[in-house]
Amino acid sequence: MYGKIQTKKLLKKLEEKDISYLLVMNLDLPQLDPNFYYFTGLDGYEHSIALLGEKSRVYVPSFEVPRAKRESSIRDIRKTKAGLTKELGKFLNNKKVGINGEFMPVNFQKKLKRNKIKLVDASKIIEELRVIKNKEEVERIKKAASLSKKVLKKVDISKSETQIVADLIYEYARHGMKPGYDPIVAFDGDSTVPHFIPTNKRGGKTLLIDAAAAYKNYTADITRTFLLKPTKEMKKVYEIVKEVHDLAIDMVEPGVKASEIDNFMQDFLKKKGYSCPHSIGHGIGLLVHERPYISIKSDEILKEGMTFTIEPGVYITGKFGIRIEDDILVTKSGHKIL
Ligand code: GLY
Ligand code: MN
Ligand code: MN
C-alpha cells in the first residue's frame, strides 16, 4: 500500500532527531498537505490529521472512516470530533512533535501548544524524503509524462486557447488521469507571460502549450511551442531555446550543482543576445513545483532519484514566447528523459 515505505523512512529520521511523532494535517479543499497523502496513502480527505510514530493513527471525518480503513496501511483510523486537540494533548503530552511548518496554520499551532505539545518544524526532514523518488514514484511520473506528450501531439490548433484546455483535460480524463496543474495555452503575444491564463483567443503564428497530466497524484510538467506561421526571428529563437534545452539536459548527472545548470543557460542565452526571466527548472512529484530547484539561487547537489524539469524560455515582449520543457530523472550515472 502506498505510504508504507515513505512512513518507514520517516520513522527512522524522527528517531534520529528524537522526535516522537509527526503530525500532518489537511484543511479544507484544496488546502491539503501533500505529505498527508505521502505518508498515509489517503487522497482527498478534508479536515484530517495523521500522527505518524510508534503508534500511528489517523483522524478523518466520520463519513470517511470506512474509505480510510480500505485505503491506508495505517490500521488505527478514528473519527474527528470536537475537542480533538485536547485528546491529542493527552496522547502527546510533553512529547516532541514534528509538524510541517510550511503548511500548518499558526492558529492551529497555538492550539496544540496550549495543550502542552512541544512542536518542532520537521519540514526539512520531510523535504529530504520527498526530494528522492522511489521506483514507483518515478513510474507514476513517467506514465503521466508519456500521456501528456501523446496528447500534445494531437492538439487541434484551429480551436481557441480555452477550448484547447478543455480538450487536454478531456484526454487526460479518458485515460484515468487529471491535469497536474492548470494548462497554459497561449498564442503569439499571450505566450510572453510564462504562466499565462488562457482566453478565447484563436489562431496565431506561434502556440505555446504547457500542460501535463498527473497519474496517481504524481504530475509531469511538459511544454511545447508550435511554430504555426513562423517569422525568421521565431525560428531563430526556437533553435536557440532547443539547443540550450538539449545541452542543459546533457549536464544532468549525480554530483552536479543545480545552480551550474541554470548559470549555463543564462550565459548561453546572453551570448546570443537573449535572457530567460525564470530559472531553468524545478522538482516535480506530488507538487508541480517542489525541490530540487534548478536555479542560480539553489544550493542543491543533484542525486540519483531526483526528478525535475528543464525548461529554458525566451520571451520577446509583445510578440511571442518560446519554451521547451521536459522532465528529467537523475540516474546512477547520468539521466533519463521521462
Ligand atoms: N507548468 C508551470 C511551470 O512550468 O512552471
Ligand atoms: Mn515547469
Ligand atoms: Mn510547465
33 lines ligand 1 (CB under 6 A): no
Question: Could you list which residues have their CB under 5 Å from ion ligand 3?
Answer: 210, 221, 223, 325
Domain 4-129 shares a fold with domain 135-337: no
| DSSP state at residue 202 | B
CATH architecture for the domain at 4-129? 3-Layer(aba) Sandwich (3.40)
- Parallel, antiparallel, or unpaired: how do β-strands 184-187 and 307-310 relate? unpaired
Give the domain ranges of the chain: 4-129, 135-337
Q: Would you say 222 and 145 are in contact if contact means Cβ atoms under 8 Å apart?
A: yes
pLDDT above 90: residue 126: yes
Q: Which superfamily does 135-337 belong to?
A: Creatinase/methionine aminopeptidase superfamily (3.90.230.10)
Q: Would you say 24 and 44 are in contact if contact means Cβ atoms under 8 Å apart?
A: no
290 lines ligand 1 (CB under 6 A): no
The mean of the pLDDT values for the chain is: 97
Type of residue found at 297: K
Banded model confidence at residue 93, pLDDT cuts 50, 70, 90: confident
Would you state the pLDDT for residue 94?
Answer: 85
pLDDT above 90: residue 228: yes
Q: What global pTM score does this model have?
A: 0.96
pLDDT digits (tens, 9 = 90+) for 156-193: 999 999 999 999 999 999 999 999 999 999 999 999 99
